[in-house]
Structure 1
Amino acid sequence: MHRVVHQLQQRLHSLPQDKSSWAQLGASYVELARVTADPTYYAKAEGALKNAGDTGLAAIGMGTLANARHDFTAARDWATKAIAALPSSAEAYGVLADALTQLGDDAGAQEAVQKMLDLKPNTASFARASFHFELHGDVDGARDAMQRALTAASTPEEIAFCRYRLGELAFDHNRLDEAAQHYEQGLAARGDDMTLTQGMAKVAAARGDAPVALENYRRLVARAPLPQYLQEYAELLEANGKPEEAARQYDVLSEQQRLMESQGASDDLAAALVAADRGDGMQALRRAEAEWSRRQSVFVADAMAWALHMNGRDAEALEFSDKANALGWQNATFSYHRGMILAALGRIAEAQEALVQALRLNANFSPLQSLKAGRKLAELRGGR
């Protein structure tokens, strides 16, 4: 990607009025921000895209940038503008589908994904169809669509992405060997892919090989300090009796979140979940409510449920848990949160059912929270 950026910069030095190249440069900066976990590329992307003028390609780039910054309302608006300029652009519909999914507009997202498939049935469109199936609890449909995405893949990057998503579908449903196989095949296509490295670290942790998992995470966060990776690493350290090292990673996580916010990338959702998991109920609820005011998706509904639970407001939490599970997503974390909420409400049989479901779906959904789920389930069964 650095090479692509350099080539575009060289071209623009000679042809500074080439709007298409400015749009490509902006999109490349967004991708660099993703693969390096360096949000300072967002400002560079925005500058390049502004030089691309009032074009459909520029609008697609601005929408992609807005999605990356978690400004999904702006992303939806940019995608709508892009579609008006380029009505046959599958990429524009992809930006729209991503935004609407995160905003909680399920019907709109489905329509955008279908339009994308109609226009261009390729890796990008099949991948979005896969995620839509997954959100609705159709794991087989999600897997089949992702296999079609893999069949359509033509670059090492696309192959690696598809193998990662197939690995995640397997990992999230207690199929560790299958997950590892997909991650390994992805690394064979693109050995420096950080998502696949994270996948192998998760598999090592799930198999009980803590030294390998910890070393993989150490190298991963040194290269790509994404909040998700830092949280997983911190939880793994904590679960393995290393609280001081875990605390240092949580500090790095806080710094990284502040850096992202300084670059216009809001992530109250992730911050709310981290705060709730660490027992900071007030911070968790403040962050979750801020995110809920912007978008009412199943992702944010779950964060609201968990934050309310951490504040002892379990009747309200259960209402949000109902919203989080409305689409039928088979998500172990959602089931764990629901089980803990039901337990707090004294609905023991339902709590046990939810916790069993969480562990049946993925016994390793979190290095730390999965242990807590198991302990809570044992406690509830012991009280019968």
Structure 2
Amino acid sequence: MEETQAEAAGRGHRAARGRRLLIAAVAGCAVLGGALALWPWQRPAAHPPALPAPGAQALSAVAAGVPAALPDLAALIDEREALVRTHPKDAGSWAVLGAAYVEQGRRTADATNYPRAEKALRTSLTVRPKGNAQALDGMAALSAARRDFRSARTWGEAALKAAPRRWTTYPLLIDAYTGLGDYKAAKRTLDRLLELRSGAAVQAWAAAVYRDRGWREDAAAALSDAAAGALRPAEQAAYLERAGQLAFERGDLDEALRRFEEAVRLDPDQRAAQAGQGRTLAALGRTTEALNAYRVALGKRPCPRYALELGELYESLGLTQAARVEYDQLRARVADETAGGVDGELVLGILEADHGDPRAAVRRLRAEWQRQPGIEVADALGWALHRAGDDKEALKFAAKATDHAHGGGVRSALYAYHRGMIERELELAGPARRHLQEALRINPYFSPPAAPLAEQALAALGEPPDEPVPTGSPDGDDEDNKPSRQPR
């Protein structure tokens, strides 16, 4: 029986539809098979993962001992303040609140945070007096922020005793040992930390130890790894700022400026990087930009060190009245910090040595040396003694700051300059020439007022006299020709 034209047309449509369905099914299977063949991290996410709330982000940063963004810190503090009002026996929340106050005070240079931090941390220890490593860590961080390194060591060692494998305690102890000039203990602590943990924060602490030992290439590599592995913009910005400091210390101004600018781009509240921009722009001769950068940094983070740098920049430009204003503001800021428990004797001693009363600087820095004999204090005390006219004793402290035998492995142009100027005053022409050359070789831009003085002093010393190269003593008993001793 023959089919009608309509039936033939219907059959054709059904066949075409079937082919389309078959093709679609095959294609679908191919796509599905391809998707299944992808590794999990290669599959596109249906929706981007939601970021944690600001308070949660700050909590994870504070718990890991890494820098947190200021808005996130503020949110965390608000949350924990509300929580401890309703749960006053929550020791963990009190410890988190105290640690957040410490970080906020450190990042803003607002020392009024520190008494609040201490109250919260001591409350945590009262609620949970035994095994509370979290609060003990917080007390160690608070002491370090206040520049009380003996107390930081005591609290840190107590935290380590309570929880020996709590890795966040080790960086706090590294900071404390460094402030006390115990560089061997700092290195041992870093070695233990590297056994326990890896990651960006650990690399950043390793860089600090490497820098203090004079291993600048290792320090730069560790900071580069830390910045690449950072999980949050504020953390990455902090590591880039430290990389900028390191680049400036070795006189690489272009690299330093790039690092500082990137840090500020990632975290506009990174005031240390803005001060670093000021320091670097001044060295590049871009004075107006440098002054603006310092003013912005000081406007949001009134750090006495930044005021000292800005004052010295003004002084190098002949603006002595503007410099005095900064020095007066520095003293006022140190007084405010002292009310918050911060030890400001080092920066006051540095100020008085060059811009005030050198004898008062010696008194302050001697007492500071007795409390915490770190390399930075040794250098400052040596320079203050030189400025007060006691160059023989000054050289002893300058040697501590620059000799590897005393732990002074850090390659600092300023320290080398101080030692060279002291030796010049003592008429030790050879050592003076060597250390002044070293200062300018490390970083010819290390200080607006001091770098030109180093160049002038070196020029005044002149070239070393022509002397024959020693070939050993007449009896041949020099180190190269000495015969090896045979065992008896």
- TM-score when scaled to structure 2? 0.76
Cα separation, partners in 2 of 1:382 and 1:215, compared to 1, 3 Å: farther
- Of 247-256 and 131-140, the range deviating more from structure 2: 131-140
Segments of structure 1 that go 5 or more residues without pairing to the other structure are: none
Counterpart in 1 of 2:441? 360
| 1:342 and 2:444 matched | no
Matches of residues 285-324 of structure 1 in structure 2 within 5 Å? 285-324=362-401
Q: Is the 8 A contact 1:201 1:216 kept in 2?
A: yes
- Superposed CA deviations along residues 56-92 of structure 1, whole A, max 9, x for unmatched, are 1110000100111111111101001111111111111
Runs of 4+ in 1 over 4 A off after TM superposition: none
Counterpart in 2 of 1:129? 206
Identity %: 36
Q: CA deviation at 1:222?
A: 1.9
- Superposed CA deviations along residues 169-212 of structure 1, whole A, max 9, x for unmatched, are 11111111111111122222212210111111112111101111
Q: CA deviation at 1:367?
A: 2.2
Distance in 2 (alpha carbons) for counterparts of 1:372 and 1:33:
37
Distance in 2 (alpha carbons) for counterparts of 1:377 and 1:254:
33
Distance in 2 (alpha carbons) for counterparts of 1:375 and 1:3:
53
| 1:51 and 2:137 matched | no
SS at 1:154 equivalent: coil
Counterpart in 2 of 1:195? 272
| 1:330 and 2:411 matched | yes
Counterpart in 2 of 1:29? 101
Distance in 1 (alpha carbons) for counterparts of 2:461 and 2:198:
48
Q: CA deviation at 1:382?
A: 9.1
Larger radius of gyration: 2
SS at 1:57 equivalent: helix
Counterpart in 1 of 2:477? none
- Superposed CA deviations along residues 5-43 of structure 1, whole A, max 9, x for unmatched, are 112112223322211111111111111111211111110
| 1:11 and 2:83 matched | yes
Distance in 1 (alpha carbons) for counterparts of 2:234 and 2:195:
23
Distance in 1 (alpha carbons) for counterparts of 2:288 and 2:463:
33
RMSD over aligned CA atoms reads 1.6
Match of residue 238, structure 2, among 153, 161, 179: 161
Q: Is the 8 A contact 1:90 1:115 kept in 2?
A: no
Task: Give the count of matched residue pairs.
Answer: 384
Q: CA deviation at 1:383?
A: 11
Q: CA deviation at 1:153?
A: 1.1
Distance in 1 (alpha carbons) for counterparts of 2:456 and 2:93:
56
Matches of residues 177-216 of structure 1 in structure 2 within 5 Å? 177-216=254-293
Counterpart in 2 of 1:371? 452
Cα separation, partners in 2 of 1:383 and 1:130, compared to 1, 3 Å: closer
User: Structure with the greater relative contact order (CA < 8 A, sep ≥ 6): 1 or 2?
Assistant: 1
Q: Is the 8 A contact 2:272 2:297 kept in 1?
A: no
Q: Which has the higher helix share?
A: 1
Return the letter of the residue paired with 2:369: W
Distance in 2 (alpha carbons) for counterparts of 1:294 and 1:51:
28
Return the letter of the residue paired with 2:122: K
Matches of residues 229-268 of structure 1 in structure 2 within 5 Å? 229-268=306-345
Counterpart in 2 of 1:100? 177
Counterpart in 2 of 1:84? 161
Distance in 1 (alpha carbons) for counterparts of 2:229 and 2:297:
29
Q: CA deviation at 1:2?
A: 1.4
Q: CA deviation at 1:379?
A: 3.0
Distance in 2 (alpha carbons) for counterparts of 1:112 and 1:273:
30
Q: CA deviation at 1:322?
A: 1.4
Q: Is the 8 A contact 2:274 2:296 kept in 1?
A: no
Q: Is the 8 A contact 2:248 2:256 kept in 1?
A: yes
Q: CA deviation at 1:149?
A: 1.6
- Superposed CA deviations along residues 91-146 of structure 1, whole A, max 9, x for unmatched, are 11111111011111111111111222222212222112111111111111111121
SS at 2:342 equivalent: coil
Cα separation, partners in 2 of 1:121 and 1:351, compared to 1, 3 Å: same
- Of 234-243 and 279-288, the range deviating more from structure 2: 279-288
Q: Is the 8 A contact 2:350 2:361 kept in 1?
A: yes
Q: CA deviation at 1:381?
A: 2.9
- Of 367-376 and 35-44, the range deviating more from structure 2: 367-376
Q: CA deviation at 1:380?
A: 2.8
Q: Is the 8 A contact 1:276 1:307 kept in 2?
A: yes
